[in-house]
Structure 1
Amino acid sequence: ELWNLVNLERLDLDRNQLSGEISPEIENLINLNILFLWVNQLSGEIPSEIGNLTNLNTLVIGDNQFTGLIPEEICNINLDPMFDNYNWSERMFDGNKFCPPYPECIEQYVDFLDQDLTDTDCFSCDDEDVYDLWGTCYHVDYTFGLDFFNNELTGEIPQEIENFVNLNYLDLQGNNLSGLVSDFICGIDTYNLINNSFCGPFPDCLDNNSIFPQENSYDCEEFCNENTEINVWGSCYNIDETIELIFNNS
C-alpha cells in the first residue's frame, strides 16, 4: 500500500482524476519532502496527521474537492511555495471547499474567494454572524456575492441581507420576489433585480437596466398613497409633482 513506502521522498500524482480521501496513515511517509495532488477529485478533510510530516516542504493540493477545516497541525510543517523555480502559492490550497478560518501559518496561501462553499457544512445558522437567506446559511464576514438567478424565490428580500456589509454582487433575476427594495442595494457594486414583482418607489441609486421589467406590478397598489399617488408599472408617482416618465432603458 502507498502509505507503507516509508522511504518515499517525492509523491507527484497531479492531473490523474483520482478520487477518495487522504488516509491518516500518510503520517507513515516520514521522509516525504514533496507532495503534489493538484487537479484531481480527492475529497474529505485533511487529516491532522499530516502535521507529522516534518520533512515536507512542498504541498500542492489545489483544485480538488477537499472540505472542512485545515488542521492547525499543518503549522508543524515549514512549507515553501517555491519549487522548481515556480511559485505555487496560488495552487497550494485554492479550488477546494475548505472552511474558514484558516491556520495563521498558511493564511497567505488560502484565498477564501477561491473556495467553493456551496452545499458545505461550514456554517450553522445558529452561529454568530450567520444568517439564513432562502434556506442557506451565510456568514457575513465571508459572503461577497450571492447568485440566486432563476431560483423560484418568492416573498420579500429578507431584512437579514442588510447585515452583509461585504456583499458586492447580488443577482436576483428571474424569481417571483415582491415588496419594496431598500436602500441597502445602493452599497452593492453589481446587482440584477429584473423579472421579479418588486414594487416602487425604488431607491434613486438604482439603474433602470437592472430593475425593469418587473412582473405583476398591479400588485403594488398597496404601497402607494391612494390620495396623492398612482401606480405606474410597479412604482408610485405623485399625481401633482410628476412631470416626466422615462422608461426607455437607454
Structure 2
Amino acid sequence: MGTIIWLIIASISLTTIVPVTACPPSDRAALLAFKAALHEPHLGIFKSWIGTNCCNKWYGITCDPTTQRVADINLRGESEDPLLQKSNKTGYMTGSISPSICKLNKLSTIVIADWKGISGIIPPCITSLPFLRILDLIGNQISGEIPFDIGKLNRLTVLNFADNKLTGRIPRSLANLSSLKHLDLRNNMISGTIPRNIGKLRMLSRALLSNNRIYGPIPESISYIYRLSDLDLSLNRFTGPIPGSIGKMSVLGTLNLDGNQLSGAIPSSLMTSRISILNLSRNAIEGNIPDVFGPRSYFMVIDLSYNKLKGSIPKSISSASYIGHIDLSHNHLCGKIPVVTFFDHIEASSFMYNDCLCGKPLKAC
C-alpha cells in the first residue's frame, strides 16, 4: 500500500516539473482579441497567428522561455524585417488597440509603430502592466489623451507616442517614471504646461516634445535631469526667459527651442556650456549676444535667427574652439563681422537682414 502511495506522489511530482511548452490559452485569446480589432490588408502579418501555441512563430510575438507567457509584442510597419523588404513597401494597418492587450500582464515590450492608420485611444488599462519597459506607438493616428496614471509604469525606460494625434496635457504622474530614459511626444496636439516636477526624471537622456501646443515657461527643474543630452521643445508656445541653469547641465549636447515665444536675454551659460547644437531661432529673444565665448565653446550649429538681438557680434567668438554653422540673420545686429577662420565657409545669408552688419561675407565696412 505504501509503495502505491509513493508511486502516486512520484507521478504527481513528475507532472508538476514538466516544462511549459505552449502559451496559456488566456494569452492566446487576448492576442486573438487584439488582432480582431486591427486590419492589415497588404502584408499578411497575422497569417502566422494560427494554432494553439502563440509562442511558436507568431509574427512579432516573443514569449518568456521559462513560463511561455507572452513577453513582447513587436509590430513595426517600417523596419528591415524580410517580410516588409520582400513586399518592397511599408506597412499600413487600420483599426484600434484593443484593451484585451492589458490581459497580457507579463508584457515587457509593446511596439505597435509606423502603421499610419491605427486610430482610437491608448487603452487606459495599459498602465496596469507591471513589467512594461518599452511602450512605442509612434507613427499612427492615435487620439485622446495620455493616460493620467502613466506614472504607475515604474519600470518603463522608453515612452514613444510621437507622430500621432494626442491631445490634452502631459500628466503630472509622468514624472514618477523613475527609470525612463527616452521620452518622445513629438508631432501631436498636446497642450498645457510641462509638469513642474519633470526634474524627477533623473535617468532621462532624451526629451523630445517638439511640434505640439505646449505653453507656459520652461521649468527650471529640467536642469535637475543630469543625464539629459537631447532636449527638443521646438515649435510650441513656450513663453518667458530661458533658464540659465540649462547651460550648466553636464551632458546636454542638443538644445532646440526654436519656434516658440521665448523672451528675455540669452543666458551667458549657453555659450560656455557643453551644448554643440543650439537653436533659439524664431523667438522674441532680445539683448546682446553674450560676449563670453571661449575654448569650451564648440558648436556644430548655433542658430539665433529671427529674434530681436541687438549690438555687435561679440569679439570673443574668435576664441571659440569651433563653430560649424551659424545663423544670425533677421535680428538688429550692427558693426563689423569678426574675422574668424571658421566664418570663411559661412554664407552671406547667415548675416543678412540685420540693421548694419558689415564685413566679409557682406559688403565691406
Q: TM-score, normalised by structure 1?
A: 0.47
Q: TM-score, normalised by structure 2?
A: 0.36
